[in-house]
Chains A and B, each alone.
Chain A
Amino acid sequence: MELIDRYVHEVGEHLPRRLRADVQTELRSLLLDAVEEQAREAGHPADGELAKKVLREFGTPQEVAARYAPSPQHLIGPRLFPAYRTAVGIMALVVAALLLAFSVVGILKTIRNPEEAVTLGSAFGVLGKILYTALFNFGLLTLVFAVVEQVQQHREITGKAWDPAALPPVEDPDRVSLPGRVFGLYAILAFAILFNFYPEWVAIFGITPGLGVWHWPLLRPEFKMYLPLLNLWWALAFAFNLIVLRQGRWRQETRWAEFALGLVAIGILVMVILGPPVFRFDQIVKLVLIVALIGKGMESAGRLYRLLRRPAHTIWTSAETESPDPPQN
């Protein structure tokens, strides 16, 4: 029957090559058996209408082929997909930030010097490069996750008994991270000393055969006008970190103070970006600062959202819940 042949052919198109011939042969014979049976029951010879009825009951070729497929076919499986989706989301944010930064710089440049306005051609050129980079990274990310998926699928299931003692401890979101805070103190001191006493070392470094190690200082002398403000911010941040370390746990007041410090940092970044040129390669450095500003802005927005959504989280351990009433905050 021509209709059955077309159906069987279509199912085969959606099957792996190694299964195709075998499944098609079996499927054809099964369908012919079904049509003949229905023709006997109907009391007339098999015809196109009966064949259509049987094929409709069977299902679309794609559905049937999917059921014959040896195992669930996916590039990135359910276990890895949440991590993949997060990674793609982060990458999309970075691309969006870059596009926004590019737009802001273009607008600022046009406002300052209308004769040096960003042309449509150059705008499309940069846009194309950003999108190309985004697509390339998306493909690379997908490839990495697909490889990890395939490797995990081939790993044998050992069937070891699950050990509850191996569970990680419950993280206390209010506990201050000692390494994080200590590193923060170190970084603040390092930046303060660097920018105040060794500004020439804020530079791009390189090695060239024949020339040896070279460096291009990034800061112009005009940068000194921001030092008092930066020193104030570093002093505040240093003191804040010390207080938080001493308390050992985050509280509402310290979380709000952290948010306020973030706003101060944003204010300083905006001032530097909009201010006169104080860097060599000023536009490039300011582009980087714009990206930092966007990141800082998103971080502060996230902090504010969490602060407004609920108060400081309290973890009740089993020791605290021995009494019938919950512990008072």
Chain B
Amino acid sequence: MAFQTSCLLTYCVAHCIVRGMVSSEAQTALRENLSLEFRRGALVLAVLSQLHEEQYGYSLKKLLAGRGLEIDEGTLYPLLRRLEAQGLLRSRWRVEDGRPRRYYRASPLGEQLHRELGADWRALARAMEQLLG
């Protein structure tokens, strides 16, 4: 009887611990997903803001990191391609030190959207400041 009770007790404790761990992991994953959601919208504007002059992918990453926005390569480089496909960026190949690099720069449409999105962002930031107190 004592053995069965201790088994049951051990099971209950282990169940609670595992549930707690899973719950905490789920919370972390949820927080990361939600954080990624609202960062995702900002990345396009951040990229456009730094491409008034030509940059290649890695130099742009370092530029953004130097100004406080860390963005992983797996996100940035495909984003540059996508923005180019949408007409917001222009690109050309340049060979430097024997290595081909693709340089990007904002197109006229990209510059226009940068101004418009920048205004939207500032309005949103003011509204969020009021909401968050």
Q: Residues on A close to B: CB < 8 A? A: 23, 25-27, 29-30, 32-34, 37, 57-59, 63-64, 67-68, 70
Contacts and interface: CB of A to CB of B under 8 A. Distances in A.
B57 A26 contact: yes
Interface residues of B, number: 18
Contact of A59 (B56, B74, B99, B101): B74
Given A34-B73, A37-B58, A58-B73, A64 B99 contact: no
Main secondary structure of the interface of B (DSSP, over half): helix
Nearest first, the 4 A-B pairs at minimum CB distance are A67-B78, A33-B58, A59-B74, A68-B78
B74 A58 contact: yes
B41 interface: no
Main secondary structure of the interface of A (DSSP, over half): helix
B102 A26 contact: yes
Interface of B: 56-58, 62, 72-75, 77-79, 81-82, 85, 99-102
Contacts of A23: 81
A287 B54 CA distance: 74
A327 B117 CA distance: 50
Contact of A32 (B72, B78, B99): B99
A64 B57 contact: no
Contacts of B85: 70
Contacts of B77: 26-27, 30, 68
Q: Which has the most chain B C-beta neighbours within 10 Å: A23, A30, A37?
A: A30
Q: Which has the most chain A C-beta neighbours within 10 Å: B58, B75, B85?
A: B58
A68 B80 CA distance: 10
Contacts of B82: 70
